[in-house]
Amino acid sequence: MTGLPRRNRWLAGLRRLILRPVTPLLQRWFRRHYAVERRWWRQGLDIIVQPGVFPPGPTVSTAVLLDHFARRFPGTALAGRRVLDLGCGTGLVGLFLARAGAWVVSSDINPAALANARLNAVRNGLILRPVLADQATSFAPDAFDLIIITPPYYPHDPASMAERAWFCGDDFAYFRRLAPQLAALDLARTEVLMLLSEDCAVETINAILSGQGLGLRLVHAKRSWLEMTWLLRVVAYAKPTDVGASA
Structural domains of the chain, with CATH: 9-242 (3.40.50.150)
Q: What is the mean pLDDT of the chain?
A: 83
> How do residues 83-132 score in pLDDT, each as one tens digit?
999 999 999 999 999 999 999 999 999 999 999 999 999 999 999 999 99
Secondary structure of 12-46 as H, E, C letters: HHHHHHHHHHHHHHHHHHHHHHCCCCEEEEECCEE
The answer to whether the beta carbons of residues 76 and 125 sit under 8 Å apart is no
CA distance readout (Å), 36 to 12, 41, 62, 120: 33, 17, 20, 16
- Cα(54)–Cα(56) distance, rounded to whole angstroms? 7
Q: Say how many residues make up the chain.
A: 247
> How do residues 161-200 score in pLDDT, each as one tens digit?
878 888 888 999 999 999 999 999 999 999 999 999 887 8
Whether the pLDDT of residue 245 is over 50: the answer is no
